[in-house]
Structure 1
Amino acid sequence: MKLTMTDLTPDDPALVTDVGPLIRTLRPGLDADGFLEFATAAHRQGLVFTVAHDPAGRCLGVASHRVLATSRGRLLFVDDLVTAPAARSAGVGARLFDELRERGRRAGCVRIELDTGTGNHGAQRFYHAQRMNIAALHYAVELDLTDPESLR
């Protein structure tokens, strides 16, 4: 399938109409307004939304990513990579990942990193197929900003 890769910015209406609903399939707690607020703030922090369009102009997948300088070297961090449900297993995700590899190389990155949920087995199979290794465990703790005790 021929795909065109395009980077969208928060001022592009397609970010709201095409990308937002796709990202929200991964982040169901994020409503349309929350997505635009997130996209605007994250874009200012360097987040890029790369969209895969088919020849008819339909958005079939998106990868949000940014280049980070870390003590482990320069890396391309993928915040989200999602394919439209109707286009899954058609090579869209693999094509997006190939695009990320190339962008990472051009940016001087030593690797691509991302996080995925422990229960997202389909994504885990996909990332293993892309020759990714489980290199770390990602820990998190929720903070209740109204409770000073939670901030310790």
Structure 2
Amino acid sequence: MEPTEPDIVDLAPGDPALERDVAPLIRVLRPQLTPAAFTAFAAEAQAQGLVFTAAYGDGGACLAVAGHRVLATSRGRLLFVDDLVTAPAARSSGVGGLLFAALAERARRAGCVRIELDSGTANHGAHRFYHAHRMAVTALHFGLEV
């Protein structure tokens, strides 16, 4: 039997799937984020407009997740992706590309001029993925711990 295309769904604030499905994947990308810190982050960020969109495969497994929001900037309206992560066992299966395509469609429907995201300088696998999906390096992101 052929695997079906993943279901792409948004998870509302308070949805139990945030803790059960999204948090473990986000912590793959951000291991310092404890379960309690994820809960606090998710509540605050969703109140600021963050949307968690997850890709579910056969059997209900969460295969990938993106946290994103639409921002109005002086560069135009954009869809900013805070986090995009695919479960390690699902990498190179195409699910990340399907989720990325869903984000691009949302950006178009929202009147965005582009998708933007930050990627850690050492995350070369992610860089290959973004370049393969026609993303260009357009800026440097600077940070200062305070």
TM-score tier after normalising by the smaller chain length: over 0.9
Please say which structure displays the higher CA radius of gyration.
Answer: 1
TM norm structure 1: 0.93
Moved over 4 A (4+): none
1:70 aligned onto 2:73:
yes
CA distance in 1, matches of 2:68, 2:39: 16
Q: What secondary structure is seen at the aligned counterpart in 2 of 1:56?
A: helix
CA distance in 2, matches of 1:75, 1:84: 26
CA drift of 1:75 comes to 0.1
- Residue 94 of structure 1 aligns with which residue? 97
1:21-40 C-alpha deviation (Å, 9 max, x unpaired): 10001111100010010000
RMSD: 0.7
Structure 1 unmatched ranges of 5 or more: 144-152
How do 1:138-149 residues align onto structure 2 when only pairs under 5 Å count? 138-143=141-146
How do 1:3-152 residues align onto structure 2 when only pairs under 5 Å count? 3-143=6-146
Paired residues, number: 143
Percent sequence identity over aligned pairs: 66
Structure 2 unmatched ranges of 5 or more: none
TM norm structure 2: 0.96
